Structures are given as structure tokens and as C-alpha cells.
């Protein structure tokens, strides 16, 4: 799991530095974060190779591979299997589903990386849950999502939150619910709260506002 507190490990938290690791993958050895400097990373785990839900997820990720690349983002998969199982599985996906998996899949056969990231939950034995970690170019964990083994992920949502994080960082704003399709303000973004009374009073002159504490604008 995450950092050590006393004698125990606690879960990794949003805003913390992602753990460093080296690993064997389906495309060779990788070293994180050194091999991903300047990139966003989506690190995700799946319970096991040769399982139907995981197979649909890998196809879904690969179908959006170019969209992630356009967002300066690299994908890394992980499960507690040996690399030969990963290789055979991605070969099966290519041969039977006409989809070539182009992102690396980590062979974490001893579970050390999964444990560092909190991908193993007690009720699921040694299997990894469906975890998603979005990590920024500074190797900071920016988003964590856990799904149960029985429910496949929504990959358009993973793309959406990745885009939102990049918009937030670039423009120093916040994004509303369901952005960019919010029921109140559409694709506009929310202005950070004012720091003093004077700034609060000028708000409605500078932006579109429901009130001084709820102002928004087009990018």
C-alpha cells in the first residue's frame, strides 16, 4: 500500500508522491517514474489475465490509446501474473479480437507493486481490484478510483477526468459536475473563491455569477 505510518502501511492518498518501481512488462523493463518524465500516467490494475471483464477493459483502453496519447498520457496495466501469461493473453486478444495491445502490462507476480499502490484488498485474497491511478508529470497521484471485480470500468469517464485535471492545472480553475456538460453552466469552468471582501464585491463585474462565491467563465 502507501507510506508507512508507525509499523503499518496506509493506503496511498491523492496528492502524495507515487511510489517508484522497476518492473518487467510485455514490452520489456520499465522504470517509474524515470521512463515517464514529463508525461501523465494512467496506472491501472485488473484481477487476472484470461478473464472476460478484464478482456473487455483491455480492448476499451486500446481503442482509446490515441486519445490518451493526445493528452500526453501513457497507460500501464498491472496484475499479479507472470509475464508469459500476459504475453499469451495479449496475443490471444490480437488473434481473436483483432486488437493489438500497445501499452505495457506489468508482471507483478510477487505483488510488491500492487501492495505499494493499495491494489490488493483483503476480501479479494491475492487478486488486485480494478484500481485506477492518474499520476501527473511530477509523479503526484491526482486521482484514485476503485471498482469491484464484477463491474467493468467506464473508460470515457477516465478520459474525462484526465482532461479535467489538465484543464484545472493549466487554467487554475475548477470544473463542475459532469463537465463539460454541466446542467447549470455547460462547458464553462468555475473561478476560484475570492481571498478578501473587496475581491468578492467585484466578482459580478468580472464574471458571470450566481452569487459572489459561484462565478464561472468560458475558457
* Residues classed as catalytic: 54
Beta strand 208-211 with 214-217: parallel, antiparallel or unpaired?
antiparallel
- Specify the DSSP class assigned to residue 78: E
Q: What are the backbone dihedrals phi and psi of residue 91, each rounded to the nearest 5 degrees, phi first?
A: -65, -40
- Specify the DSSP class assigned to residue 186: B
Helical ranges in 78-154 per DSSP H: 83-97, 112-117
Rounded Cα gap, residues 211 and 87, in angstroms: 56
Distances (CA, A) of 92 to 30, 36, 45, 46: 23, 28, 19, 17
Amino acid at each position: 500500500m502507501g507510506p508507512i505510518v508507525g509499523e503499518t502501511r496506509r493506503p496511498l492518498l491523492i496528492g502524495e508522491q507515487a511510489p517508484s518501481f522497476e518492473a518487467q512488462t510485455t514490452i520489456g523493463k520499465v522504470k517509474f517514474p524515470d521512463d515517464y518524465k514529463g508525461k501523465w500516467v494512467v496506472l491501472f490494475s485488473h484481477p487476472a489475465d484470461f478473464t472476460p471483464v478484464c478482456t473487455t477493459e483491455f480492448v476499451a483502453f486500446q481503442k482509446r490509446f490515441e486519445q490518451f496519447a493526445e493528452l500526453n498520457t501513457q497507460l500501464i496495466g498491472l496484475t499479479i501474473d507472470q509475464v508469459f501469461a500476459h504475453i499469451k493473453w495479449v496475443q490471444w486478444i490480437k488473434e481473436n479480437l483483432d486488437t493489438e495491445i500497445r501499452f505495457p502490462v506489468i508482471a507483478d507476480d510477487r505483488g510488491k507493486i500492487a501492495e505499494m499502490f493499495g491494489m490488493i484488498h483483503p476480501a479479494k485474497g491475492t487478486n488486485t481490484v480494478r484500481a485506477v491511478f492518474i499520476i501527473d508529470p511530477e509523479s503526484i497521484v491526482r486521482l484514485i478510483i476503485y471498482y469491484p471485480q464484477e463491474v467493468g470500468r467506464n473508460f470515457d469517464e477516465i478520459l474525462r477526468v484526465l482532461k479535467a485535471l489538465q484543464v484545472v492545472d493549466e487554467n487554475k480553475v475548477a470544473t463542475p459536475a459532469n463537465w463539460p456538460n454541466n446542467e447549470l453552466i455547460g462547458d464553462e469552468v468555475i473561478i476560484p473563491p475570492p481571498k478578501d471582501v473587496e475581491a468578492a464585491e467585484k466578482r459580478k463585474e468580472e464574471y458571470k455569477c450566481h452569487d459572489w462565491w459561484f462565478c464561472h467563465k468560458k475558457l
